[in-house]
Amino acid sequence: MQPKPIHAAVLSLAIAAGAATGAWWGASDHQLIAPAHAQTAPATAPLVTGLPDFTQLVDAVGPAVVNIRTTEKISTQPSMSGMDEDMLEFFRRFGLPVPNVPRQGTPGGNADEGEERPSGVGSGFILSPDGYVMTNAHVVEGASEVIVTLTDKREFKAKIIGSDKRTDVAVVKIDAKGLPAVKIGDVGRLKVGEWVMAIGSPFGLENSVTAGIVSAKQRDTGDYLPFIQTDVAINPGNSGGPLLNMRGEVVGINSQIYSRSGGFMGISFAIPIDEAVRVSDQLRATGKVTRGRIGVQIGQVTKDVAESIGLGTARGALVSAVEPDSPAAKAGIEAGDIIVKYDGKSIDKVADLPRLVGNTKPGTKSSISVFRRGQMRDLTITVAEVEPDEAQVARAEGKSSPGATATAKQIGLVVADLTEAQKKSLAIKGGVRIVSAADAAARAGLREGDVVLAIANSEVSNVKAFEAVLAKVDKSKPLSLLVRRGEWTQYVLIRPNGK
């Protein structure tokens, strides 16, 4: 490519600027000559010098990275007919009798008990010289056999020690000694813009090396993990491989990509290694991960809600529902509370709470601070254990029944007192049931059957209390209502005249 020519107008401006500052062009050598009194600005050292050389990193860490192949056992007994599922579905849909056709290659229609077939390819890295290997849970999920291949081409059948779907971390064990192991890095020292490298088996191509920079930290893509975002090329098969800093330390496990095509598009996510090690330690000790729970459903606190209820900045986790007989219920946490601190740590965003609670050992007594109707309250809570595959408890929602009504024309609501049966069904002490919603109330999303628990941080136990509080508020400003709908509780802002 030819050098880009300098435009004549730009050259003229440069000459004019030189004349104005006392500099001139030499007649013979065409160089810009500065007068003796001119001051030269000190040279600034460049912030970035050259590109890194990854060869030493690859030599040092490469032998500790492994390829993982999995197989799964599939049933070869879809039916006695020997037909494939598409043909069987045709007969089922039209109510036709299924003919008994022997399976091809299976005399007399006898099916095999099952056969192994390849199910996936991933990556991993050696945690310890005695054969513990870390990878992603989704790499080994459903596998009947796991094969680990080292860089020296030795292959081992691996035993799955444990896996955790929530964090996508798994640990497998191979029967070998004296293996090269990785060094664990400090995620806290990792900076955005820092060079990082990945080694893995994209598309089954073993020992492939890619590099890039850290694009962001603390990316919220899950309840329990703040991911590291990078622009390192990660593709199918890289899953479970290490993300390395320039010191050759593992700072993450390559786990996810953002893609519209299934291939790399410039955004990759890695599990922070400190979170992964915490999980792997439990998996190696007990084969499972134990997490804490307090029994609340939570949601985001918006800026408008925070300002309207006096919280100030949008922070904390809004409690939408409290499970009966849960640690939260026993501690006195109520729907509508905003949890702003847990165990002395601030809850800046809603995702912070499940991570802090999840990392708490069950049975631990922890402090919790909530913002409730304009005031801070400090509570003590005993953390319970998350049950694996915990079943969701279905709760019958109490049906509305007629009651005394009163019209709050100012905000477009007609409300009624709750019956004792309704209070018991909803596990609440008081409130008013919305009979109809119109105008500003309807625009705010309120509807028949909702229960108003508080107005402008003031509890309303019945219709009389509702009207008393409503009479005192400034109706020219947005009005915050704490509303219960089924099992969920949420703040709703009613804006006068559509403001």
Summarised one tens digit per residue, pLDDT across range 358-373 is 889 999 999 999 999 8
- Tell me the C-alpha to C-alpha distance, in Å, between residue 299 and each of 338, 349, 352, 367, 451: 9, 10, 12, 20, 18
Average pLDDT, the chain: 79
pTM for the predicted model, two decimal places: 0.62
Backbone angles phi, psi at 397, to 5 degrees: -90, 130
* 8 A C-beta contact, residue 31 and residue 14: no
Please tell me which residue, 76 or 326, carries the higher pLDDT value: 326
Backbone angles phi, psi at 270, to 5 degrees: -125, 145
What are the binding residues for substrate? 138, 168, 237-239
d(C-alpha 238, C-alpha 201), whole Å: 5
What are the binding residues? 138, 168, 237-239
Of 43-52, 155-164, 343-352, where does mean pLDDT reach its minimum?
43-52
What is the pLDDT at residue 241? 94
Q: What three-state secondary structure class fits 312?
A: coil
29 is catalytic: no
Does 89 score more than 60 pLDDT? no
Does 42 score more than 80 pLDDT? no
Among residues 119, 163, 201, 239, the one annotated as catalytic is: 239
Question: Which of 405, 470, 398 is CA-nearest to residue 440?
Answer: 470
What is the pLDDT at residue 240? 94
Please tell me which residue, 189 or 47, carries the higher pLDDT value: 189
Among residues 119, 163, 164, 168, the one annotated as catalytic is: 168
| 113 — pLDDT class (breaks 50, 70, 90) | low
Question: CATH number of the domain at 405-498, please?
Answer: 2.30.42.10
What is the pLDDT at residue 344? 92
28 is catalytic: no
What is the pLDDT at residue 19? 39
Question: Which of 191, 204, 212 is CA-nearest to residue 235?
Answer: 204
Question: Which of 381, 386, 377, 336 is CA-nearest to residue 358?
Answer: 386
Task: Determine the topology of domain 183-286 in CATH.
Answer: Thrombin, subunit H (2.40.10)
Q: Report pLDDT digits (tens) over 470-490.
A: 888 877 788 888 998 877 888
Among residues 138, 259, 425, 458, the one annotated as catalytic is: 138
Question: What CATH architecture does domain 63-173 belong to?
Answer: Beta Barrel (2.40)
| 391 — pLDDT class (breaks 50, 70, 90) | very low
* 8 A C-beta contact, residue 493 and residue 308: yes
Domain with CATH 2.30.42.10 in the chain: 293-385, 405-498
Domain with CATH 2.40.10.10 in the chain: 63-173, 183-286
Q: Which CATH class is domain 293-385?
A: mainly beta
In single-letter form, the type of residue at position 90 comes to F
Q: What three-state secondary structure class fits 212?
A: strand
175 is catalytic: no
Q: Report pLDDT digits (tens) over 232-272.
A: 999 888 999 999 999 999 999 998 887 666 667 788 999 99
Does 406 score more than 60 pLDDT? no
